[in-house]
Amino acid sequence: MAQDDAGGGATALRTDRLGRRYGRVWGLRDCTLDVPAGVVAGLVGPNGAGKTTLLEMIIGLLQPTEGQLSVFGETSHAPMAARLARVGYVAQDHPLYRDFSVADMFRLGRAMNPRWDQKLAQARTDALGIPLKRKVKSLSGGQRAQVSLTMALAKRAPLLVLDEPVSSLDPVARLEFMREVMAAVAGTGLTVLIASHVVSELERICDWLIVLADGHVQLAGPADDLIAAHRLVTVPRGTANAEFPGLIIHRTDSDRHSTVLVRTDPGRLAAPERPGWQAGPVGFEQLVMAYLQRSSKAPATNDPAQAAALPGPATKAVTR
Amino acid sequence: MIWVSWRQHRSQAIACLGLLAALAVYAIVMGTSMRSAFGQDRLVACLAHSQGTGCPAAIRAFTGRFGSAVNVAFWSVLLALPGLIGVIVGGPLIARELEYGTWRLAWSQTVPRARWLTVKLGLVIGGLVVLGAAMTALITWYRAPMDRLTGRFLPNVYDFEGLVLTAYILCAFAFAVLAGLLLRRSIAAMVAAFIPWLALRLVVEFQLRPRFQAPLTFRQFCSRNGPCYGGYGLGTIPPSTGHIGDWVLGPGAGLPANQFGNTYLYQPADRFWTFQSIEAGLFVLLTAAALGLTIWLLHRRAA
């Protein structure tokens, strides 16, 4: 893949057949991704799909077993400090030192990050009404999440990685957190990678989508392109799979009809191709769910081979 | 980074200061009363002209009064203390980060985790060395009158004076840091480090220490008809060699057939610092090995 393959911008994150094995089990395998700078990418997958494994390799907390990884040009062979400087990370459950005050946490951030932005950190906590003197253990879950986010932002890294940032939060805190992420990203050119299994939260903010299941990439690309490349078709029951002009991602059969998600060239299946067929666009959440359900049925290892034969942006993520 | 390490360990530092303060109070109370008793009993003069053989009653009175505070019972409690200090400080150092998930925070800042650990270890080791040196100084000072009677080679003295006390603390600390990384649990790491530390301590004390250097032989000749009292051991003052501070290990080989008397194997008192250096060196070496392994494992950490 060429450097500016994804639309002219620089590449924020590139992985090439990245894999990580735990003993005899592969946590993630054959992961090839090319995420351009400036996007907000959603990383979706069920628990155990390899999301955290991928994120920890991106951050440098884990070494890849095989394959290549680079974040803004720094590979996994670059000095650790150079790699760490590229990524701001909000870990799952927002770990902070319980007996530190917020000010102590910021002082830690300043001590451990040469580009630390204390003004930004203080302005954010002021705006959120979080007192600097308050101990971490007396903050609410939402406030802790905000402090974690603030620390990752004040590190001034070009890539912000969030691992399940809202799964432990109540609905109001979720909304606030996501709003803060969007506000922080707006106009800064920051690239964001958010791992979540709360698909509805991602739909609002992501313009790039990566679906991960069973340790493999199922789907990756700009969200709009992916939605344009899929059609949801309702056909009479018994219609053969071979009749569809594209790859069948998911099929549900009811008494009379079958509902089929088809990956095809954009523009195909715009109108019903046959009598009795109804074709329509697919929603973000439907699309993700279809790929997740598909991976749990079909052996995931077959997917890249099938997908490689197909046109459309989805194939670029899974090219061998 | 130094501030971060200090902030994380400051409550431990305060607890150690508390411990030191308690020890200081005890040492001052005991030390002053021992000193005044030592002066009153005219033991100084007796020791100077007879190595203590001339005043058994005064020595018995003194050791009877203060022996319980410096000897076996006290020693067996204190035996565990350096290990406990070491594992309590070392166990949570990495394990706590793993238990609470804060490792993801600590190791995703720009400072690489190997450097994070090195700075932290440097600071904590510095603190432990100060603690060990201060404990040694306090114990050495308050025991000084007793040491003039017993010498410094007996286990209940040797283990707390000189270099070894600090080395014991560091070794237990290093074992616990490594165990914390491997076991990922603070309490488990403390236990897992304390047991081998204690085993090592006892093996060194009873098996290796008497053999750090080849012991010398002392020959006690007796006349053919007269009484010939032998006896060796920890308790006699002066020891069977007649020289305070010598460490009598046990009976030596028999004398030639035409001579009467006893032989004793012993380590002379002037080997104290050599032995301290050898033993402290051994424990410091193990400390360095365990910490080096920890840094290396963390650097290329697999899990």
- Select from B108, B300, B303 the Cβ nearest to the Cβ of A59: B108
State the angle between helix axes of B113-150 and B272-299 in degrees (0 to 180), rounded to the nearest 10: 160
Of B45-49, B211-215, B267-271, minimum mean pLDDT range: B45-49
* Alpha-carbon gap, residue A160 to B108, rounded angstroms: 12
98-157 of A, contacting B, C-beta below 8 A: 98-100, 104, 107-109, 111-115, 148, 151, 155
Decide if A178 touches B, using CB distance below 8 A.
no
pLDDT of residue B235: 55
User: What mean pLDDT is predicted for residues B29-58?
Assistant: 78
Shortest CA gap B11–chain A (Å): 11
pLDDT of residue A133: 94
Task: Decide: A128 and A108 in contact? Cβ < 8 Å.
Answer: no
Decide if A60 touches B, using CB distance below 8 A.
yes
* Alpha-carbon gap, residue A315 to B130, rounded angstroms: 63
Side chain identity at residue A155, one-letter code: K
Decide if A308 touches B, using CB distance below 8 A.
no
Residue A235 sits at the vertex; the CA angle it makes with A229 and A241, to the nearest 5 degrees, is 70
Shortest CA gap B173–chain A (Å): 22
Question: Which chain A positions have a beta carbon within 8 Å of B119's beta carbon?
Answer: none
- Give the pLDDT band (50/70/90) at residue B41: low
Shortest CA gap B133–chain A (Å): 30
Determine whether the interchain pair B1/A109 forms a contact, defined as Cβ–Cβ distance below 8 Å: no
Has residue B255 got a pLDDT over 80?
no
How confident is the model over B87-99, as pLDDT tens digits? Answer: 999 999 999 999 9
pLDDT of residue B85: 95
Task: Decide: A70 and A102 in contact? Cβ < 8 Å.
Answer: no
- Give the pLDDT band (50/70/90) at residue B69: low
Determine whether the interchain pair B108/A61 forms a contact, defined as Cβ–Cβ distance below 8 Å: yes
Residue of B nearest to A160 (CA): B108
Decide if A65 touches B, using CB distance below 8 A.
no
Question: Which chain A positions have a beta carbon within 8 Å of B111's beta carbon?
Answer: 81, 84, 112-113
**Higher pLDDT among residues B233 and A180, named by residue:** A180
Shortest CA gap B285–chain A (Å): 29
Regions of chain A where pLDDT drops below 70: 1-9, 271-272, 295-320
Q: Which residues pair with A25 in a beta bridge?
A: A22
Decide if B3 touches A, using CB distance below 8 A.
yes
Side chain identity at residue B248, one-letter code: V
User: What mean pLDDT is predicted for residues B219-248?
Assistant: 69
Question: Which chain B positions have a beta carbon within 8 Å of A63's beta carbon?
Answer: 300, 302
Decide if B1 touches A, using CB distance below 8 A.
yes
* Alpha-carbon gap, residue A208 to B202, rounded angstroms: 63
92-151 of B, contacting A, C-beta below 8 A: 100-105, 107-114, 116
Torsion B224-B227-B233-B236 (CA) sign = negative
Determine whether the interchain pair A91/B105 forms a contact, defined as Cβ–Cβ distance below 8 Å: yes
Shortest CA gap B1–chain A (Å): 5
Share of chain B above pLDDT 90, in %: 52
Has residue B265 got a pLDDT over 90?
no
* Alpha-carbon gap, residue A160 to B249, rounded angstroms: 68
CB pairs under 8 A between A and B: 72
What are the two backbone dihedrals, phi and then psi, of residue A12, each rounded to the nearest 5 degrees?
-85, -50
Side chain identity at residue A311, one-letter code: P
Task: Decide: A269 and A183 in contact? Cβ < 8 Å.
Answer: no
- Give the pLDDT band (50/70/90) at residue B100: very high
pLDDT of residue B184: 94
- Best mutation target, B1, B2, B8, B110, to test chain A (most A CBs within 10 A): B110
* Alpha-carbon gap, residue A166 to A42, rounded angstroms: 13
- Select from A79, A99, A112 the Cβ nearest to the Cβ of B109: A112
